[in-house]
Amino acid sequence: MIFAVLLGAACAASAQLYRWTDEKGRVHITDTPPPPSAKNVRKRALDATPEPAAGANQPYAVQLAAKNYPVTLYTAPDCAPCGAARALLNERGVPFREVSVVGEQESAQLRKAVGSLSVPSIVVGTSAQKGFEQDAYDSLLDNAGYPRTGILPSRSQAAPKPASAEPAAREAPPDEEPATGPYTPR
How do the domains of the chain map onto residue ranges? 15-45, 60-144
Q: Give the 3-state DSSP-derived string for 69-132, with helices as H, strands as E and coil as C.
A: CCEEEEECCCCHHHHHHHHHHHHHCCCCEEEECCCHHHHHHHHHHHCCCCECEEEECCEEEECC
CB 39 within 8 A of CB 20: yes
Average pLDDT value for residue range 133-138: 96
Q: Are 96 and 158 in contact (CB under 8 A)?
A: no
More confident residue, 78 or 177: 78
CA distance 77 to 171: 19
Judged against a pLDDT cut of 50, whether residue 24 lies above it is answered with yes
> How much is the average pLDDT of 114-141?
95
pLDDT band at 174 (very low <50, low <70, confident <90, very high): very low
Beta bridge partners of 119: 183
- Report whether pLDDT(105) > 80: yes
8-17, 64-73, 91-100: range with lowest mean pLDDT: 8-17
Counting residues of the chain whose pLDDT is more than 70, the rounded percentage is 73
pLDDT band for position 122 (50/70/90)? very high
pLDDT score for 179: 45
Q: Of 7-21, 58-72, 73-87, which gets the smallest average pLDDT?
A: 7-21
| Residue 62 to residues 13, 51, 90, 145, Cα–Cα distance (Å) | 40, 19, 13, 7
State the average pLDDT for the chain. 80
What mean pLDDT comes out for the span 99-109? 94
Average pLDDT in the 60-70 region?
Answer: 92
Residue 168 has pLDDT above 50, yes or no: no
What confidence tier does 10 reach under pLDDT thresholds 50, 70, 90? Answer: low
- Indicate if the pLDDT at residue 9 is higher than 90: no
CATH superfamily of this structure's domain 60-144? Glutaredoxin (3.40.30.10)
Q: Is the pLDDT of residue 13 over 80?
A: no
